[in-house]
Amino acid sequence: MSVEMTIEDEPTDDEDVQVNVVVRGRCMHTTHDGSNDEFEVRMDNRRQLSGSHRADVAESLQTSAVSATELHFRQLADMSEQECKAGNRTVCQTPAVMRQAAYERRQSDVLHRDPVVELDIAKECWQTAMPAEHVS
């Protein structure tokens, strides 16, 4: 079975998003133990952490002493009633997603993987910023 879904208009965080899916053919989920009992596949409704919101979360984790897990549970506790009813857990992304965003933010500050080369780059930048030939 293949399904193609697109988002035409980016919804807000507290908006209930309706998805209509047409299944062509037979779709049956079965257990792996050999019995052909059907079961429901339940997946959380989640949107990607992106854009300025991703940058804000990464900056918050980098500048504060709060861990990604603690931030996740704080945001989970602050979810609105509408978000809970819609199953939209975008505002409380998983700790792994938050840690990845913080890691990417730290990597964006690194000029080079080798600290000696990074120090040389910083030295050259500092020297070219000076208006005189040398500093006493």
Q: How many domains does the chain have?
A: 1
Q: Per-residue pLDDT for the chain (136 aa), expressed as one digit of tens each?
A: 566 677 777 777 777 777 766 666 665 655 556 565 555 555 555 567 778 888 888 888 888 888 988 888 888 888 887 777 766 666 667 888 888 888 888 888 888 888 899 899 889 888 888 777 665 5
Reduced to 3 DSSP states, what percent helix, strand and coil does the chain have, rounded to the nearest 5? 45, 5, 50
Give the span between the Cα atoms of 100 and 73, in whole angstroms. Answer: 17
Sequence-ordered alpha helix ranges (H) in 4-94:
51-63, 68-77, 81-86
Domain that holds residue 13: 1-136
Beta strands of the chain (E only): which ranges? Answer: none
Which pLDDT does position 51 carry in this prediction?
83
Print burial letters for 43-66: b (CB count within 10 Å at least 16), e (below 16): eeeebebeeebbeebbeebeeeee
